[in-house]
Amino acid sequence: MPEETKEFWRWSEKVWRDESIDWRGSRAITAGIDVGSVSSQAVILADGRLYAYHSTRTGSNSPDSARKALNGAMAGADMSQEDIRYVVGTGYGRVNVPFANRAITEIACHARGANYMVGPSVKTILDMGGQDCKVIRCDEKGKVQNFIMNDKCAAGTGRGMEVIADALGVPIEDIGRRSFEIDEEPPPVSNVCTVFAKSEATGLLKAGWSVNRVLASYCAAMAERVSSLIERMSVEPDFFITGGIAKNEGVVRRIERIIGIEAVRLPADTVLDPQIAGALGAALFAHALLKKEQKASAQA
């Protein structure tokens, strides 16, 4: 029998719903859909309150990924797309969300989502996505003041971490923890290029490094690369990290060490997930835009 291939890169898809809310009693159901290069999220709000969300893998087709994310968030709630009055699409596939009323960039949406999660004190956001990385400065409302993005390659982003998980045979969700199970912090790998880092990592294993030491070295390299981007923007606290890599303490703590600023952590018992920040921001914009539309039609 062929041996089952384990996908170490595969992160847990997530579905959450607030069972205490009866959405049928709400006047406005709105949604935000974030179709990223690696993951897609849908967030549903009931009268502006977080009701449900779903985070899933992006497939080869953006409209299908958007539908899959939304269907996942609606699943079990006896809700259909027709019940949602306003949808904002975001992420690199934002213009390919067929049922969206409006597309807004993930830069604006992550800032808005981070503001909801942390509050008005958040001023700098690092979004570490699947294939890019953004540093965003915003005001107390979550409105973008300035932003900077990484270069065009995917080095030092979520996809790179997935490749390393597979190359080293370590489940992606264990990487952060294991990267600290070392005697001494190693120097960062020289290459953060996704392709070269993989060969460098396997080369280090052959040279006698432990898996954990290689993981530490890769996390450190990713943190260095991202920190140089952060420092180009100048960080003002509160500083918050969104996107999938926000859940990798191995990278987050090393970034904090380099820039000398601690990132805000969500409480341990929160239902919020930094990976849904973009979709959450989009849903909040959808809520505000629906109100705006309603006011305009009332005045007309």
Partner 1 sequence: MHSASGVVATPELGIGTFQHWYENRHDYAREWKERTGRKIVGAFCTYVPEEIVYAGGMITVRVLGGHEPQDVTEPHIFGMYCPFCRDCLAQGLKGRYDYFDGIVLAHSCLHFRQTYDSWRLHIGAGFDYYLPMPNQVQSPHARTYYRGELAKFKAFMEEQLGRELSDADLDRGIAVINENRRLLRQIYEYRKRPNPPVTGLECMYMAITAQFVDKSEHNQALRAAIAEIEAGRDVGRGGTIRLMTVGSENDDPDFLNMAESLGATIVIDDQCAGSRSFWNELVPQADRLQAIADRYCDRPACPTKDYPERTRFPHVLGLARDWGAQGAIVIQQKFCDPHEGDIKPLREYLENTGVPTVFLEFDATNPIGPFRIRVEAFLETLRNEDLFGDDDDGLF
Q: Which of 113, 108, 93, 104 is nearest to 147 (CA)?
A: 108
What is the nearest approach in angstroms of partner 1 to the Cβ of residue 115? 9
* DSSP string of 21-35, one letter each residue: --GGG-S-EEEEEEE
Radius of gyration of the chain (CA): 20
Interface positions with partner 1 (CB under 8 A): 26-28, 47-48, 92, 104-108, 112, 132, 141-147, 149, 151-152, 285, 287-289, 291-292, 294-295
CB-wise, 132 or 200, nearer to partner 1?
132
CB-wise, 6 or 143, nearer to partner 1?
143
CB-wise, 11 or 86, nearer to partner 1?
86
The Cα–Cα gap between 118 and 86 comes to 25
CB-wise, 141 or 206, nearer to partner 1?
141
Give the angle subtended at the CA of 198 by the CAs of 193 and 201, to the nearest 5°.
115
What is the nearest approach in angstroms of partner 1 to the Cβ of residue 84? 13
Both tokens of residue 13?
A: 């898809």
What is the nearest approach in angstroms of partner 1 to the Cβ of residue 144? 5
What is the nearest approach in angstroms of partner 1 to the Cβ of residue 287? 7
What is the nearest approach in angstroms of partner 1 to the Cβ of residue 243? 14
CB-wise, 149 or 182, nearer to partner 1?
149
What is the nearest approach in angstroms of partner 1 to the Cβ of residue 47? 5
* DSSP string of 55-120, one letter each residue: EEE--S-HHHHHHHHHHHHHTTTT--GGG--EEEEESTTGGG-TT-SEE--HHHHHHHHHHHHH-T
Residue entry with tokens 């396997």: 202
* DSSP string of 197-235, one letter each residue: HHHHHHHHHHTT--HHHHHHHHHHHHHHHHHHHHHHH--
CB-wise, 112 or 247, nearer to partner 1?
112
